[in-house]
A and B are shown apart, each in its own frame.
Chain A
């Protein structure tokens, strides 16, 4: 039976997951996840997507393959993850063991008027991740689960991981990260020691 309890506070979840981020790099999906990660504190290791819906986990994959010694977190929403469903299969085959996909799942398209999404109708993205071959998957529905996930983020895994965190469907105050993708690209690359062309 799918647990359809969407009760966690998204800002609190993201702040706790990034509290001890260490060397981790973070890619965010457009809309609320970008705001949530920015609200937790901007960081040179963040890259915020403001478009290209469906890209977040795959940008994370390319980055994770290029930087195998660093944990890469792709933090996105259920709508964005659903648009890139095939990408989960591609990630599972590529097996980046340092990639963690975190879906902040509120069961709705929050940015566009809170229309119910597929997960709101019962689709279980963690089960999809498991079916396509993610090494670890899980659904987090309570505070204890958030703390356990935060503690596990930097653990070595045998392959990519996908966690669905069920959060309340609400529009919280926007916390807008910079929208200039050239700047964001160059900032992250400089953080990793690469020069500007």
Chain B
């Protein structure tokens, strides 16, 4: 079973290597989408990806294509937050499941 730890390390590494926030709205939006995609990938590798995260990333990509950078960045930020929640779930569940079977959940 996958654990969230390697995924969290990947995100930490990405955060360390991230350059300064670009001033250009298009660049900001692209950076936000890239960050969301990295978080989503980490949640997938942890076995805890959420469908809503993917949907938000798809929305962000579509807005980026249309040049709607504000919407793209907004959707991407929401996707990142959601992926962080799913990674927190993965971390909590890495031990919580043991107390659950078969009596409660």
Does B bind A?
A: no
Residues of B within 8 A of A (CB): none
